[in-house]
Chains A and B, each alone.
Chain A
């Protein structure tokens, strides 16, 4: 085997669209449009010669049925050279982190030098489909060139108005358990004894920190405005409530169970948005004049049993990732955990501190360690900012890459949970 020089993939930076509550100003924009806006913003922020780009690794969760490979469509809409490779992956809420680590893989293996990775989701444009039974009844007639008007009428007489004609509404439901994700999170709150107060407190912290970051301009370099028309553009996130308080949060009614503890205030909401990250090989970046921010030291993708605790996965992925990185809790300066629900984050933190959990579920001698909820998510998280599924991972990567630079800290640990009881974690290191 020939010895090769070690290649390192680095994060140059990331840009995202504002995150808007679903069915707001972004409703006319599909997931492809949002992706185009994010990458356009990325080009403005990091002007790169198009010929340098090797690939786009995009991701999405709510994908348009007719054009699943939205990455390729985004490339066409951007007007990039058609000879650039582009593909799309989906791994629920961890999608864009997976897209980014795939980019790291490709770059460090020598397959590519410059990759744009990220993800977009437009929950406003989730497709409402007609029942499959209708399709099955009509298909033979439509596909048969000999069908006449009579045949169409014959099919019409066989239709069942309830079974065949009522469209299927999309919902964030687990196929295997039939539970809404909030219901699963509600169960986790009960089982791990996470109180309503603790959840509201965490949600308040998320909102206040996000609001502060916006007010101080911390996110300015990460957000690109999206033009809606010649005269109208969206410049800022619209979900963050900096002026909320414990009293206001405390008044909200439980959203998923009668005497539940999860409310609209301490859960993330349906959101539209996109985020993109520019990844390069270290030497390449230097040669074309870009300053790297961070590298990926290790990551871990895991899965647990969705019928047990759906969103507990990061409690496995995070310790596994730092173990792979050869680190311990004390080596980690920043922790960023995706907030699907405040209850889920607090459950994960509890398990991270449990020696029993580490021993029984991970086979490790010691727990990851105690983490104060105040220590994590320095600029808020998905509860305040919103959660366009496939954009969240890329948002976290760009915020943490910048945070490492601004704060002068060394390492950051990301943790994300997802539907189907999947999870992911990654260790980032300042360059």
Chain B
């Protein structure tokens, strides 16, 4: 399960040796964090912010950055500079002007492109990144803020916002070698107040394996706007399926770390692992096979009796039975669809009504479901089905304040991927911008973010945790 090249890259001696031998570039060692959420995720980091004059977002952005502990550098544009300077005053993070000489290496690059509405204006964005991208720190973050295409009123601005998405995807490929990521955040103009928690996640080390990803923030989900910085899941009840091992266990640990009481749901066969995990995170155990027809009723009764309701559901349980379509047995097709799709539809009939207001649902999809994968017709079908399900369910539940999202992992180093033939594995984990496989923790942090109150702006979306896989969206 270990990527030997990443392990080598951690040792400077081998790094130089391999480089001398002509092996081009070792994968970057990604900076991650497994601490509980902190008050200042960008503490003492330099953030360089590009803008074309002040926008509706400027003040909000300034406050998010200084509150998060970043030291802002802005272009010498009086109104923008003043907004940043004033906001930084209260936090001892006074804005500084970007001068060409002796700039410290920025860890964060942000361009507020919400007022870029003609393709020609993108020249400014080009020159901003042209000037500063080279100095971006290793494992830095790039984010472009824009208005969503659906909101644009004319042809020119629709063209521009789409063009920016292409720009960021290409940039993500170029900066991956140093572990840096680039994402684009489309903020609906009536959802500016929901930007903060999203930016705090996408600019933090918790999003190390997400790159080349568009994110849409809107105000469909009703919410009270209090987003805790720390312990976001205090007092919440979270049900996680398939939680005994792999990604599920990582999700359970992370969600428990942020304060939620976790219900570990897995098959009776996994009882040892599940019990160990339960004692580690003080979780509750529920054993059942989600394929069985009585599972939904039993589960619903037990949860009602013990907890009265649910705040978070993570549908993580999933299996693979890989075979080329022509060789696939009916049974293999049935098994995969049964666990990955039908079971979810069935138990959700009972579980969805048990969701409390402001609940969060997260579904594990897969890059395979977006791009398709040879030998995985059954798996890709089920995971693509999830995407459709999430998109439709999200609209139904928005009124109750429940956000529904999917996470699509790419190549993640787990026991499931360890079963892939060795040669395929070797190639597969290199086929992304970051040149390495992700860790279960990367998926877990994303799921935890989507389970938090601050994810209110996101619903019906698919967040790829794939290191910017070369195949797929």
A: residues with CB less than 8 A from B are 188, 191-193, 305, 307-309, 312, 347, 351, 354, 356-357, 359-361
B66-110 contact mask (Cβ, 8 Å, vs A): 1 or 0:
010100000000000000001101111110000000000000000
- Determine the distance from Cα of A188 to Cα of B93 in the docked complex, in whole angstroms: 10
Q: How many residues of B contact A (CB 8 A)?
A: 14
Please give, as numbers and ranges, the residues of chain A lying within 8 Å of B94 by CB-CB distance: 191-193
Give the distance to chain A from B64, nearest Cβ to Cβ, in Å.
Answer: 12
- Determine the distance from Cα of A193 to Cα of B85 in the docked complex, in whole angstroms: 12
Cβ 8 A contact of B87, one of A305, A356, A361: A356
B29-57 contact mask (Cβ, 8 Å, vs A): 1 or 0:
00000000001100100000000000000
Judging by beta carbons under 8 Å apart, are A357 and B89 in contact? Answer: yes
Please give, as numbers and ranges, the residues of chain A lying within 8 Å of B90 by CB-CB distance: 351, 354, 356-357, 359-361
Given contacts A191-B94, A193-B94, A308-B69, contact A356 B89 (CB under 8 A): yes
Judging by beta carbons under 8 Å apart, are B67 and A356 in contact? Answer: no
- Determine the distance from Cα of A307 to Cα of B90 in the docked complex, in whole angstroms: 16
Judging by beta carbons under 8 Å apart, are A188 and B91 in contact? Answer: no
Judging by beta carbons under 8 Å apart, are B43 and A307 in contact? Answer: yes
Give the distance to chain B from A175, nearest Cβ to Cβ, in Å.
Answer: 18
Judging by beta carbons under 8 Å apart, are A305 and B39 in contact? Answer: yes
- Residue from B40, B63, B92 having most chain A Cβ neighbours under 10 A: B92
Kindly report which residue of chain A lies nearest to residue B43, judged by CB atoms.
A307
- Determine the distance from Cα of A312 to Cα of B90 in the docked complex, in whole angstroms: 11
- Determine the distance from Cα of A357 to Cα of B63 in the docked complex, in whole angstroms: 12
Judging by beta carbons under 8 Å apart, are B39 and A188 in contact? Answer: no
Please give, as numbers and ranges, the residues of chain B lying within 8 Å of A351 by CB-CB distance: 90
Main secondary structure of the interface of B (DSSP, over half): loop
Give me the 10 closest cross-chain CB pairs, A-B, nearest first: A191-B92, A356-B90, A357-B90, A360-B90, A192-B92, A356-B89, A354-B89, A309-B92, A354-B90, A193-B94
Please give, as numbers and ranges, the residues of chain B lying within 8 Å of A312 by CB-CB distance: 92
Please give, as numbers and ranges, the residues of chain A lying within 8 Å of B69 by CB-CB distance: 308
A188-B92, A360-B67 provided; 14 other pairs, C-beta below 8 A? A191-B93, A191-B94, A192-B92, A192-B94, A305-B39, A307-B40, A308-B39, A308-B40, A308-B43, A309-B92, A312-B92, A347-B92, A351-B90, A357-B89
Please give, as numbers and ranges, the residues of chain A lying within 8 Å of B63 by CB-CB distance: 360
Judging by beta carbons under 8 Å apart, are A356 and B40 in contact? Answer: no
- Determine the distance from Cα of A288 to Cα of B92 in the docked complex, in whole angstroms: 51
11 contacts between A and B (CB under 8 A): A188-B92, A191-B92, A191-B93, A191-B94, A305-B40, A307-B43, A308-B39, A356-B86, A357-B89, A360-B67, A361-B90
Give the distance to chain B from A174, nearest Cβ to Cβ, in Å.
Answer: 15
Kindly report which residue of chain B lies nearest to residue A309, judged by CB atoms.
B92
Kindly report which residue of chain B lies nearest to residue A307, judged by CB atoms.
B43
Please give, as numbers and ranges, the residues of chain B lying within 8 Å of A354 by CB-CB distance: 89-90
Kindly report which residue of chain A lies nearest to residue B71, judged by CB atoms.
A191
Please give, as numbers and ranges, the residues of chain A lying within 8 Å of B91 by CB-CB distance: 360
Please give, as numbers and ranges, the residues of chain B lying within 8 Å of A347 by CB-CB distance: 92
Please give, as numbers and ranges, the residues of chain A lying within 8 Å of B67 by CB-CB distance: 360
- Determine the distance from Cα of A305 to Cα of B69 in the docked complex, in whole angstroms: 12
- Determine the distance from Cα of A181 to Cα of B43 in the docked complex, in whole angstroms: 19
Kindly report which residue of chain A lies nearest to residue B39, judged by CB atoms.
A305
Give the distance to chain B from A56, nearest Cβ to Cβ, in Å.
Answer: 40
Give the distance to chain B from A369, nearest Cβ to Cβ, in Å.
Answer: 15
Give the distance to chain B from A179, nearest Cβ to Cβ, in Å.
Answer: 13
Give the distance to chain A from B97, nearest Cβ to Cβ, in Å.
Answer: 14
Give the distance to chain B from A159, nearest Cβ to Cβ, in Å.
Answer: 34
- Determine the distance from Cα of A26 to Cα of B93 in the docked complex, in whole angstroms: 42
Please give, as numbers and ranges, the residues of chain A lying within 8 Å of B92 by CB-CB distance: 188, 191-192, 308-309, 312, 347
Give the distance to chain A from B325, nearest Cβ to Cβ, in Å.
Answer: 56
Give the distance to chain B from A281, nearest Cβ to Cβ, in Å.
Answer: 42
Please give, as numbers and ranges, the residues of chain B lying within 8 Å of A305 by CB-CB distance: 39-40
Please give, as numbers and ranges, the residues of chain A lying within 8 Å of B89 by CB-CB distance: 354, 356-357
Please give, as numbers and ranges, the residues of chain B lying within 8 Å of A361 by CB-CB distance: 90
Give the distance to chain B from A345, nearest Cβ to Cβ, in Å.
Answer: 15
- Determine the distance from Cα of A360 to Cα of B93 in the docked complex, in whole angstroms: 14
Kindly report which residue of chain B lies nearest to residue A357, judged by CB atoms.
B90
- Determine the distance from Cα of A354 to Cα of B43 in the docked complex, in whole angstroms: 22
Please give, as numbers and ranges, the residues of chain B lying within 8 Å of A192 by CB-CB distance: 92, 94
Kindly report which residue of chain A lies nearest to residue B94, judged by CB atoms.
A193
Kindly report which residue of chain B lies nearest to residue A367, judged by CB atoms.
B90
Kindly report which residue of chain B lies nearest to residue A353, judged by CB atoms.
B89
Kindly report which residue of chain B lies nearest to residue A312, judged by CB atoms.
B92
- Determine the distance from Cα of A193 to Cα of B39 in the docked complex, in whole angstroms: 23
Give the distance to chain B from A260, nearest Cβ to Cβ, in Å.
Answer: 16
- Determine the distance from Cα of A356 to Cα of B85 in the docked complex, in whole angstroms: 11
- Determine the distance from Cα of A287 to Cα of B43 in the docked complex, in whole angstroms: 58
Please give, as numbers and ranges, the residues of chain A lying within 8 Å of B86 by CB-CB distance: 356
Kindly report which residue of chain B lies nearest to residue A350, judged by CB atoms.
B89
Kindly report which residue of chain B lies nearest to residue A351, judged by CB atoms.
B90
Kindly report which residue of chain B lies nearest to residue A358, judged by CB atoms.
B90
Interface residues of B in 315-333 (CB under 8 A from A): none
Kindly report which residue of chain A lies nearest to residue B87, judged by CB atoms.
A356
- Determine the distance from Cα of A312 to Cα of B91 in the docked complex, in whole angstroms: 10
Give the distance to chain A from B202, nearest Cβ to Cβ, in Å.
Answer: 22
B422-463 contact mask (Cβ, 8 Å, vs A): 1 or 0:
000000000000000000000000000000000000000000
Give the distance to chain B from A108, nearest Cβ to Cβ, in Å.
Answer: 35
- Determine the distance from Cα of A351 to Cα of B91 in the docked complex, in whole angstroms: 9
Give the distance to chain A from B39, nearest Cβ to Cβ, in Å.
Answer: 6
- Determine the distance from Cα of A359 to Cα of B67 in the docked complex, in whole angstroms: 13
- Residue from B63, B89, B93, B94 having most chain A Cβ neighbours under 10 A: B89
- Residue from A191, A351, A361 having most chain B Cβ neighbours under 10 A: A191
